[in-house]
Amino acid sequence: MKSLDFMDKTAPGGVYLCQVNENVSCGACCGLYNIPDLSFNKLKKMLSDRTEEFLKIAREIDAIVDFGENMIAAENKIRPYPEFYHCPYIGFIGTNGTRVGCLLHPAAEGNNGIDYRGLGYYGSMTCNIYFCPSYTVLSDNFKRMIRTASQDWYSYGLIITESALVNAFLSETEKLIQRKIDEEDVRHNPDFAGAVREFINLKAYWPFRPASDTPANYFFKDNLYAKKDVDYSKIRSGCFTSRYDTIFKELGSSFQSDTEIGKAEMIIEFLYKRIHEYCK
């Protein structure tokens, strides 16, 4: 993997987000999270099994195409977003196989520098030119913060495409401490970094998301699966909304009582309180 400094120079918006380090990367645009059971353990097992099987096949066109078709046939076909293709060639890559990426990429193990991505659904051209909205919607300092604070591919890939959520939380953070924040805050303040990581993990483990919903994000601009507004009308009369309404909406919240709203607000307020303490 080329250095981040090199990749930053060529990435839209000046900060490369796809492959960060040996543990952190994102495959969201390839439909990585568009599966019915999005638990870390289930997804990790699926990718591990897929990667092991791919390493066994010959690097021949028919064998590679058959592999993809077999994966699609064997795996659960129910998708939270039916129109969003889940690529069967997403697996584990890197020196230790600890981050997600394309098994068809020329740098992937066993490919001997040959680019097989043209055999995939998206083709090599799409892989080279498509960049998710976060590249241009998020500010450079916010992108670098999330990139630096993240410690694993699972939570990073779930949060980095959530541009509205990241903007809402980190913009409020800057207002609270009355200065701009950046990756140096994460690098040099372990407590600050810990609070940011807790925010990152909210995406996967938010307790007020209905069990039937997915933490995955449909980030394309066709509005097929727009985030739903939080319905406060069944809980309180009038025009009541939470001051954290944007954060709650982007986390996919559904509240059954005023008590639940209060608990959700306390979670966000506790993170802000910790950050404020660390930044004094």
Tell me if the pTM is above 0.75. Answer: yes
pLDDT at site 6 = 83
Nearest CA among 54, 179, 176, 45 for reference residue 108: 54
| 276 vs 195 pLDDT, higher one | 195
Per-residue model confidence as pLDDT tens digits over 186-203: 999 999 999 999 999 999
Region 133-158 average pLDDT: 96
Over residues 265-269, mean pLDDT: 96
Pairing relation of β-strands 99-102 and 90-93? antiparallel
Give the CB-side neighbour count of residue 180, counting CA atoms within 13 A.
8
Provide the b/e sequence for 19-52 (b: ≥16 CB within 10 Å).
Answer: bbbeebbbbbbbbbbbbeebeeeebeebbeebbe
pLDDT level of residue 105 (50, 70, 90 thresholds): very high
- Range of weakest confidence among 49-53, 126-130, 166-170, 265-269: 126-130
Domain boundaries, the chain: 18-130, 163-278
pLDDT, tens digit (0-9, with 9 covering 90-100), for 32-71: 999 998 999 999 999 999 999 999 999 999 999 999 999 9
Confidence band, pLDDT 50/70/90 cuts, at residue 280: low
Look at 275 and 148; give whichever has higher pLDDT: 148
**pLDDT of res. 72:** 92
Question: In the chain, what's the furthest Cα-to-Cα distance?
Answer: 65
Give me the chain's average pLDDT, please: 92
